[in-house]
Amino acid sequence: MLVRRFTGGEPTSSSGGAAGRDRHGQCRRDIRRTSPVPAKPRQPARASTAPAATEPRAGGPTRRRVKRDPGDQIENRILAAAVEEFAEHGFAGARIERISSQAGTVDRMLYYYYGNKERLYQAVLEQIYADMIGAQRNFVQPDDPVAAMRQLIEHSWDHYAASPKLVRLLMNENLLRGRHIQLSEQIGPTSFPLVETVTRILEAGQARGVFRADATPDHTLMTIMSLGFFYLSNQYTCSAWLGGDLMKKPRRTAWRAHICRVVLDHLATGAPRA
């Protein structure tokens, strides 16, 4: 019996055997291999679900801008933190990481601005000398040489007493035998105006006959500075063996007057000479 099979070929016998099946099977396989597979139609691109960027409306929220510190502010913070660190721990005990942490920056910025620990310490010394001499610029010299010398003494003492870090830093540098001050090209010229001020007052007093003719600016300035510096740098040991706190206001006021009396009595005309 003939059975028509819809296989794309001629009708075959149901008992056509393996050859018929192989022939038609091969034909079907050839059709599958050679017939082009229709490409899937491309899906249309989906619209982005992200909101479109729009300009901020007037008065609306805007993107926050991060304010960066100018370089000079970073450098000033580093220097201020270094003053505290070196005054408290000395040159040997000071740590760069503590300075950068206190300044709110990183170690790399310290090396960027100062190069190394030695140069940073030198910059600290230059700063405290500049502050000390800068304070003298507020000093207005009276016409009376005696009054001018008295006010200069009081002004110098007040600055020392208000600057304990200055005293500690100078003590530490003296322990180092002035190694870093000698390397500085700024400290000498910075300090010279103070010498000039003492010289002008002294010469004015000598010209009027109220100061002895053999008094020198160097000795006068060293006397003023030493009487103030010694009191403050030795306050703890002296307070212990004298049995009283040297930093109490009555004691400090009395010492201020004592410095004035010692210097002015020495400078006065007719004072006994050594």
Note the CATH number of domain 124-267: 1.10.357.10
The pTM (predicted TM-score) of the whole model is 0.69
Position 191 scores a pLDDT of 75
> Domain 70-115 adopts which CATH fold?
Arc Repressor Mutant, subunit A (1.10.10)
Structural tokens at position 132 = 């000390």
Position 43 scores a pLDDT of 54
**pLDDT of 78-133, one tens digit each?**
999 999 999 999 999 999 999 999 999 999 999 999 999 999 999 999 999 988 88
Residues 136 and 197 sit within 8 Å (Cβ to Cβ):
yes
Residues 195 and 221 sit within 8 Å (Cβ to Cβ):
yes
Position 189 scores a pLDDT of 81
Question: Measured between alpha carbons, how far is 65 from 184 in angstroms, rounded to an integer?
Answer: 41
Question: Measured between alpha carbons, how far is 244 from 233 in angstroms, rounded to an integer?
Answer: 16
State whether residue 146 is helix, strand or coil.
helix
> Mean pLDDT: which of 43-52, 133-142, 147-156, 255-264 is highest?
255-264
Percentages of the chain per state (helix, strand, coil), in multiples of 5: 65, 0, 35
Question: Measured between alpha carbons, how far is 81 from 76 in angstroms, rounded to an integer?
Answer: 9
Position 228 scores a pLDDT of 96
Q: Does 124-267 match 70-115 at the fold level?
A: no
**pLDDT of 159-193, one tens digit each?**
999 999 999 999 999 999 999 999 988 888 877 78
**pLDDT of 14-26, one tens digit each?**
444 444 444 444 4
Q: Quick one: 180 exposed, middle or buried, by C-beta within 10 A (0-12, 13-18, 19+)?
A: buried
Query: pLDDT grade, residue 3 (50/70/90)?
Result: very low
Question: Measured between alpha carbons, how far is 18 from 28 in angstroms, rounded to an integer?
Answer: 15
Provide the strand spans (E) within the chain.
Answer: 2-3, 12-13
| Segments making up each domain of the chain, as ranges | 70-115, 124-267
